Amino acid sequence: HRRRGRGPHEPCARRVLVFPLPFQGHIDPMLHLACALHARGLAVTVLHTRFNALNPALHPEFRFVEVPDGTPAEVAAKGGIIDIILAMNAAMEASTTVRDVLASVVADEGQPRVSCLFIDANLLAVQKAAAAVGLPTMVLRTGSAACLGCFLAYPMLHEKGYLPPQESQLYTPVPELPPLRVKDLIFSKHCNHEMVRRVLARATETVQNCSGVVINTIEALEPDEMQRIRDELADLPVVLAAGPLHKLSSKSTGSSLLDQDYSCIKWLDTQRSGSVLYVSFGSLASMDADEFLEVAWGLADSGHPFLWVVRPKKVGDAESESARLPDGFEEAVEGRGMVIRWAPQREVLAHPAVGGFWTHGGWNSTLEGISEGIPMICRPDAIDQMMNTRYVQDVWGAGFELEGELERGKIKDTIEKLMNEREGAEMRERAKQLSRMVADCLENSGSSQIAIDKLVSYILSL
Ligand code: UDP
């Protein structure tokens, strides 16, 4: 199976537009997909919002167009993803700006003809604008196949009374979505449930109205979940598992909203192989001041080397402060622990010194951990993180959940279990097997490469 990219002087056959949702976990997979399509000979124009604007310098091979999104400053300043999704869509739907921008980008005669626009499922307003100018849309789902299955099932989950979750039912199985229990379903304790429901209803509408779906997962990781989605979306010509997207193209730079501190790689170089616990809770998850203290002292008391990302409250806002480390902490962990504001996470996880990952279970982090064969402690916060944790623990066996109150003694024991005990060693072995599965899907005849081939043929047919 031979694949041909574009020679240095050959013109691109066609152009695709991509429009990510402006949050870290959504931007990177979209740009990685764009890299993979560009490597197969397609020209790429990236549309991006003014909010969390992207840096064109990271991708000189693409054209960038900024779209004034109209998100009210006070909503953007608060930084809640659900509020921002709703406000941004409402503002875009209230004006013709997006439609006008799309029309002018499509009409650019100096560029190859546009085949389609890839959008995040949360950008229904952009899909409507694209439809108005006759442009087909493809959806990139940046979560798992199980997560998309849960989106599609959301009305049923309410009709049957699983949602909103009742305290007494948290461990009740949901037989319609095995292996999930009520506590694993999409939910957020940080915002009004009706708003989550609206966001998911709109995302489902976007998926149902598009011309094809690409999911950042691996066929062999979620075979039953992919089958269920294909059955449900039987009218769509393509429903592809093309992940992990960050591994698909050799030139897979994302677009970090914060400066990544590369000094940690030098520090990792000085640490013993497999000895370091990498601790990061992604770009949005939050913890209160007491929990933060317990995490700090749990890491200190564990005696293990660790690299801990303590990011500013809001990613994308350089002004916002990181939480302050407790007095005496730095002395207690000197030489053994490093704390940074933001990591080059994919490089960190690929570093031989890293032997464990304490994560919030965001889908990108989960895929990045699996890709490098790193076992995980999962501390889910909201949305799809509970279900990702459920899969990591009970389906793939590559980690376990740290449940209940965060307390330093419990944290110390949890780290010990992952890094030193037999159970942790078994999870490490399972994680290594998963990383081999990832390597297989990226081979020339691997499932994700074939998915991208199919995608390119489909794009060229549009
Ligand atoms: N990330 C990073 N540096 C950090 C922490 C996270 O580059 O210090 C990246 C990480 O590699 C991942 C993304 O931020 O690709 C977070 O996405 P995820 O889906 O895991 O979580 P979210 O932030 O959406 O909750």
29 Cβ closer than 6 Å to some ligand 1 atom = no
Query: Residue of the nearest CA to atom 21 in ligand 1?
Result: 362
Which pLDDT does position 14 carry in this prediction?
A: 94
CA–centroid distance, residue 238 to ligand 1 (Å)? 28
Measured in Å, residue 283 CA sits from the centre of ligand 1 at 5
Ligand 1 atom with the shortest distance to the CA of 366: 20
* Stated pTM of the model: 0.96
User: pLDDT per residue over 293-340, tens digit each?
Assistant: 999 999 999 999 999 999 987 555 455 677 889 999 999 999 999 999
Q: Which of 225, 198, 197 is nearest to 213 (CA)?
A: 225
Q: Which residue type is seen at 50?
A: R
Q: Is 27 near ligand 1, meaning CB less than 6 Å away?
A: no
The confidence score (pLDDT) of residue 264 equals 98
Residue among 261, 365, 374 to mutate when testing ligand 1 (max atoms within 8 A of CB): 365
Cβ of residue 385 lying under 6 Å from some atom of ligand 1: no
Which residue's CA is minimally distant from atom 2 of ligand 1?
345
Q: How many CA atoms lie within 13 A of 255 on its CB side?
A: 28
CA–CA–CA angle 384, 351, 222 (5° rounding): 35
Residue 3 pLDDT: 60
Give, to the nearest 10 degrees, the angle between helix 193-208 and helix 145-159. Answer: 120
**Residue 308 beta carbon below 6 angstroms from any ligand 1 atom:** no
Q: Of 84, 256, 283, 348, which is best to mutate to test ligand 1, by the most ligand atoms within 8 angstroms of its C-beta?
A: 283
| Residue segments in the chain with a per-residue pLDDT below the cut of 50 | 1-2, 317
Mutation choice for ligand 1 from 81, 247, 345, 367, CB with most ligand atoms inside 8 A: 345
Which atom of ligand 1 approaches the CA of 361 most closely?
Answer: 20
- Cβ of 37: how many Cβ atoms within 10 Å? 25
End-to-end CA distance of the chain: 24
Q: Can you give the pLDDT at residue 1?
A: 41
Give the pLDDT of residue 9: 58
Distance 26 CA to ligand 1 centre (A): 9
> Which residues carry out catalysis?
26, 120
Q: Is 222 in the pocket of ligand 1 (CB under 6 A)?
A: no
| Model pLDDT, residue 174 | 98
Task: Assess contact for 239 and 229: CB atoms under 8 A.
Answer: yes
Convert the pLDDT of each residue in 156-189 to its tens digit. Answer: 999 999 999 999 999 999 999 999 999 999 999 8
